[in-house]
Structure 1
Amino acid sequence: MRFLVRDRLLGIGEDYWIEDQHGDKAFLVDGKAMRLRDTFELKDRQGHVLISIHKKMLALRDTMVLERDGETLATIRHKRLSLLRNHYRVALADGTELDVSGKILDREFAIEYDDELLAQISRRWLHVRETYGVDIVRDDADPTLLIAVAVCVIHLAEKERED
């Protein structure tokens, strides 16, 4: 399953659509302006909130929290820094962890669980400028969660670059 994201310099308060492989609107990323912390909502086409994303206020390192129906779904934080690749750890509420690694700012990275590829984020196979794809590889993977993770780590990487 493949989704297309029209990339732009995202700021808090900016909204943008994520399209499915047929060009139909699938998810809305709704950036919330005028908040004390970075906040986004991933919504379906009807406007129902699927996942809320917000920055954790009291944390040593930038940390984002994903919530579904008011319950914490995952916590995302920077894992380690190398010159060529970024690494983020996604700690799911059930105790499992996902690993996100690659060139986040270049939109070339992967989301893995236990060394198994769940999703590939890339600009390589797209010819439309300023667009990247989220290719969900496993059929049993939660596309909403993986898209929220991709949005989140890109936001964290861009904030790091600004700092």
Structure 2
Amino acid sequence: MKKLYIKQKVLSMGGRFNVKDEQGQDVYLVEGSFMRIPKTFIIRNTKGEEVASITKKTFSFLPTFFVNAGGREVLMIKKRFSFLKARYTIDTAGIEVRGNWWDMNFEVFQNGEIAGAVGKEWFTWGDSYQVQIEKGEMETILIALVVAIDCVKADQAAASSVSVP
């Protein structure tokens, strides 16, 4: 089992932050696009190689995000139509999220076996998450999933804070 920590900076213009291991060493760098369409996040390893990307679909009625890892699309996060509460679905082949993913406290399963777990760390400056990895081959997908869900939540918060006169 391996643990990684994602700590986002509060005042980062484009969404640039590091993913660290238990010893505090950088493992991944996440770079978000700033004022660019489509909104994207690129996840790079310590050698600077792209290992995953998250892209927001530009023209869609409801927000949709695509996560690519290893040169292929591995999952899609899509907002469902709802009047009272924001509802999202995660479409994948063999990957299932169980728990309260909106509050960032959930487990990820691959083909019925636990691949990892995510927990939000409270009372921190900026968003901080602990990612526990049970299946090493799912590491980049788990990091990409956390970044994508956090982006969905940030977009939702921005949309709900806009008031119409």
Q: TM > 0.5 between the two?
A: yes
Is residue 2:118 matched to residue 1:108? no
Aligned to 1:135: 132
Distance 1:52 1:98 in 2: 17
Deviations 1:132-154 (CA, angstroms, capped at 9, x unpaired):
20111234x42011110111012
- Counterpart pick for 2:156 among 143, 149, 160: 160
Query: Which TM-score applies when normalising by structure 1?
Result: 0.76
AA at the equivalent of 2:6 = V
Distance 1:68 1:36 in 2: 20
Deviates more, 1:52-61 or 1:146-155: 52-61
Q: How far did residue 101 of structure 1 move?
A: 4.4
Contact 2:27 2:46 in 1 (8 A): yes
- CA-atom RMSD in angstroms: 3.1
Is residue 2:73 matched to residue 1:72? yes
Aligned to 2:142: 146
Paired-residue identity, %: 21
- Counterpart pick for 2:96 among 95, 99, 114: 99
Distance 1:35 1:101 in 2: 32
Contact 2:64 2:76 in 1 (8 A): yes
Q: How many residues align?
A: 156
Structure number with larger C-alpha Rg: 2
Instruction: From the superposition, tell whether residues 70 and 117 of structure 1 become closer, same or farther in structure 2 (CA, over 3 Å).
Output: closer
AA at the equivalent of 2:74 = L
Deviations 1:29-83 (CA, angstroms, capped at 9, x unpaired):
01122311211100001211111211112333211112246543332224687x9
Contact 1:88 1:101 in 2 (8 A): no
Aligned to 1:88: 89
AA at the equivalent of 2:143 = I
Instruction: From the superposition, tell whether residues 10 and 117 of structure 1 become closer, same or farther in structure 2 (CA, over 3 Å).
Output: farther
Instruction: From the superposition, tell whether residues 57 and 87 of structure 1 become closer, same or farther in structure 2 (CA, over 3 Å).
Output: closer
Distance 1:48 1:159 in 2: 27
Where structure 2 has 5 or more consecutive residues not aligned to the other structure, the ranges are: 160-165
Q: How far did residue 129 of structure 1 move?
A: 5.9
